Chains A and B, each alone.
Chain A
Amino acid sequence: MNIALSLRGPEFVGLTNYVNALYDIKLWAAIGRTAYITLWDVLVGTSLGLLMALLLNTMLKGRGILRAIVLFPFILPPVVNGLIWKWVYNPNYGFLNGFLYQIGIIRNYQSWLSQPWTALHMIILANLWQGTAFAYILYLGGLQSIPLQVYDAAKIDGASRCQTLTRITLPLLLPITLVVVVLKTILTFKLFDLIYVLTGGGPANSTQVITYYIYKKSFDFLEFGGAAALSYILTLLLLVFVYVYYKLLQKEVY
């Protein structure tokens, strides 16, 4: 492969690769799919992370161990997460099938990862499981930085638990929420390992996200030029989010 490449030598093609990329339907489909996964991750993942942080910021027995346990999905190797979900989703012996069958929701075992719609949403579920702890971590930091005097003052003024939550805690967490959303978006655009292990972008490209498309273009089809152009497009796309993130940090969230 390298020999062939070096024999031919590079050839100047101007902006051809970029123009091709603009007309590449598969690219736009991959970007759309990534955005869809991101949407789920941002909406559900952020809310779940917030709930987790609220829960684990209260005084309760075994809080230390609980805080460690919720980190597991986030710090396990993503490939191992792929392994875990590959086994859970297994069409013949998997526990998702077994569970749904035993409680009577499905009558026959399904092969979750070989139908386009379910495959995509099973990826979303696995990605949620893996990434929720990240939002939790940022929110926990946010909660711990709220001074206790604020709560004392609210208590003296006779605020109920609900009022404290909706009038004090949540508004104070708003700036950090922006950071969470931006960082989760950046993180989800990097999604690769899970896709590689679980579906390989299939079936019928239904789970082919942008990173996976670039990977295939470079190392399966050996179109390094085209793939490099896509990499630049992805970088520019993310640059927007990174810029927003930078501006947020400058406002000094903390």
Chain B
Amino acid sequence: MSKKSFRYIIFVGVIFLLLWTLAPLYVVFISSITPDKDLLNVPPTWIPTPDLSNYAYALTSGEEGGTAWLFRKSLVNSFIVAASVTVFCLFIGGLAGYAFSRFALPFKDKLLFLVLFTQMLPVITVVIPLYLIFSTFRMLDRLITLVIVYSSFTLPLVIWLLKGFFDTIPADLEEAAMVDGCTLLGAFFRIVVPLSIPGVIATGGLAFLAAWNEFMIVLVFTNTAASKTMPVAIAEFIGRFRVDYGLMCSVGIIASLLPVALALVFQKYLVQGLSAGGVKG
């Protein structure tokens, strides 16, 4: 194969890749900025005159208790939950991952696999017991419950990933620090954590996304605006009999902004984390 035809193939491949990935996103994006009167055209308008009124409505107006208000409230809830889960899991998972990485623990391999196994189970298999437990304690429909449940799902992955990243840091460094008078925890926070910042970013990003995107638990566990998160607000919105499609599309775009920003900024780390989560033994 000549160099020229090789480049041609690559070029065509990239075009197809972009079409496949971006076409559905493009459709939703243009619908979100199409004026309402053009939205229901048959055949549809592929290049609209931009109109941001859907975004303005979704982000600023609408009466309390209305669709836009519920959506904004759910976004705030999602952010609170996802941020809490991320911080909590990174802290606990960091310490646990460090222990798995450095110390000789009894049944270490079996424990590590158990950690991995919980990651593989579909959420539906644990929804019923969790539901019954939290309903006994009258803790359904609360944000703190979501944080607890999501952390229990995400922590295994966080431990697993951080252990992998800590493994790559030579133990000599901490030993040197401890010879110089650092405590074990001091060495962990001053030497190991700063050196594994990329790993912490990757892991934190994935933990955040997992909580930001989770749907089934929040669907079953919540029933008021006080604790509904974004996915459930969107699902309810779509499920309405009469849907404002323009608003629906703009809401979808807004909910995607954070994950998309994470992908654009931390692409390398996220890929690293995801592939480590899948194949590192």
Contact = CB atoms under 8 A, between A and B. Distances in A.
B179 interface: no
Given A68-B264, A77-B256, A253-B281, A141 B235 contact: no
B27 A87 contact: yes
A76 B28 contact: no
Contacts of B117: 242
Identify whether the interface residues of A are mostly helix, strand, loop, or mixed: helix
Interface string B231-254: 110110011000001001101100
Contacts of B281: 249-250, 252-254
B125 A234 contact: yes
A88 B30 CA distance: 12
Interface in A155-209: 160-162, 176, 179, 183, 186, 189-190, 192-193, 196-197
A83 B238 CA distance: 7
B124 interface: yes
Identify whether the interface residues of B are mostly helix, strand, loop, or mixed: helix
Contacts, number: 210
Interface in B143-191: none
B213 interface: yes
A75 B128 contact: no
B48 interface: no
A85 B23 CA distance: 11
Q: What range describes how many residues of A lie at the interface?
A: 35 or more
Nearest to B31: A87
Contact of B271 (A2, A94, A141, A219): A141
Interface string B255-281: 110011011100110111011101111
Interface of B: 1, 6, 10, 13-14, 17-18, 20-22, 24-25, 27-28, 31, 39-44, 113, 116-117, 120-129, 132, 135, 209, 212-213, 215-216, 219-220, 230-232, 234-235, 238-239, 245, 248-249, 251-252, 255-256, 259-260, 262-264, 267-268, 270-272, 274-276, 278-281
Given A58-B10, A137-B271, 9 more contacts: A67-B267, A68-B267, A73-B21, A80-B231, A84-B27, A87-B31, A101-B43, A190-B122, A235-B125
